[in-house]
Structure 1
Amino acid sequence: MRRRDDRRQGIAAVEFALLLPVIVLLILLLVEGSNAMHTYSALVEASREGARHVVMEGENADVEGLVAAVLADLDSNGLSTKVTTDTVANTVTVEVSYVYQMFGSQSGQDMFGNDTAPTFVAQTTMPLP
C-alpha cells in the first residue's frame, strides 16, 4: 500500500488558484466576442431591412424609424443611419453604424477609459426598380 506524501498536500488548490484568472478571462472574452458578433449581425440585418424598405416604399420611407425598431435592444445614442441614393447607378445604399460598448465600459469609451470605442458599420446596396 502506498503512503500519502504530506509535502504534496494542497497542490491542486494552488494549481487551481493559478489557473482561475486565465479561465475567467477566457470565458469573459468568449462572452464579449459573441456579444460583438450578435451586435454586428443585427446591424447587417437592419441595413438590409432599411434598403428593402426604401425599395418598396420609395425615397420618402422612414428608414431611421425602421432601423431603430429593428435595433431596439441597442443603445439609440450610439446608432446612426445614412441613406444614399445613386441616380446614375439607380441604387440605394443604407449604412448603419453603432458605437459598440464593451463590457464594463462607459458610453463612448472603451473598457480602458479611452475615448476610442469601436464602431461597427454595416452597409447594404440594392438596385431601385
Structure 2
Amino acid sequence: MPRHNRKRVETRRGTATVEFAVVAPLFLLLTLGLLQGSKLFDSHSVMAQAARDGARLGAMDRADWVSQGINSNDKIKQDVRNTLAAAGFDPEDVDVFIEFPGEPGNDFDLDDPANDFELFELRIEVPLNPLVETHNDNENQLKMVSKVVFRNSKSTIVQ
C-alpha cells in the first residue's frame, strides 16, 4: 500500500466514534421531546373532547337526565371528571369551571332561568406535573387548559 493512502486511513481513525458521541445525545433528546410532545397533544385532545361533551350536556334540556335536587353544574362537572378519570387523569387534579365567557371567577348557573339562551364557558384545568416532568413549585404550577363556549339553549335531541 502506498504511503499516502496509509496516512489518510490513520487520520480518520475514531471519526465515527466522535460523530456518534456528538449526534447520539441530540437524537435522544429529539426522540424524548417527540414522545413528551405527543403525550401532551393526546392529553389535550382528551381534555378538549371532555370539555365539548360536558358543554354539550349543559346546552341540552336537562330535565330528563338530571334528578330533582341535583344541580346541573355539579352533575356536568362530575361527568367531565369521570370522563377524564376513565382516560387516565387523576380526578383530584382536574378543575372544572362553568363561567360566563371571558369572566374568570364569575360562575354561570345553568339552572337559573335568567341565564337561558346566554353563553357559558366550560373550562378544564389540569396541572402539567403528572403529564410531564417539570420543576415548578406548587405555587407557580403550570396548567394545561381546555375550554369551550356554548349557549344555554336547552335544546332537545331529535332522532
Q: Same fold (TM over 0.5)?
A: yes
Aligned partner of 1:39 in structure 2 is: 43
Mapped partners of 1:88, 1:50: distance in 2? 17
Aligned partner of 1:96 in structure 2 is: 124
Mapped partners of 1:119, 1:55: distance in 2? 26
Secondary structure at 1:71's aligned position in 2? helix
Q: Do 1:94 and 1:124's aligned partners in 2 also have CA atoms closer than 8 Å?
A: yes
Q: CA RMSD in A?
A: 2.4
Q: 1:20 to 1:45 in 2, by over 3 A?
A: same
What CA deviation, in whole Å up to 9, does each residue of 1:72-94 have, x standing for no partner? 21122321001233728622321
Tell me if 1:74 matches 2:73: no
Decide which structure has the larger Cα Rg and report it.
2
Q: Do 1:47 and 1:67's aligned partners in 2 also have CA atoms closer than 8 Å?
A: yes
Using structure 2 for the length normalisation, give the TM-score: 0.65
Gaps of 5+ in 2: 64-70, 100-107, 110-114, 154-159
Aligned partner of 1:122 in structure 2 is: 146
Q: Do 1:92 and 1:128's aligned partners in 2 also have CA atoms closer than 8 Å?
A: yes
Percent identical: 25
Secondary structure at 1:44's aligned position in 2? helix
The number of equivalent residue pairs is 122
Gaps of 5+ in 1: none
Tell me if 1:29 matches 2:53: no
Secondary structure at 1:17's aligned position in 2? helix
| Structure with more strand by fraction | 1
What CA deviation, in whole Å up to 9, does each residue of 1:90-129 have, x standing for no partner? 22321111111254x3xxxx2xx32133211111111122
Q: Do 2:136 and 2:142's aligned partners in 1 also have CA atoms closer than 8 Å?
A: no
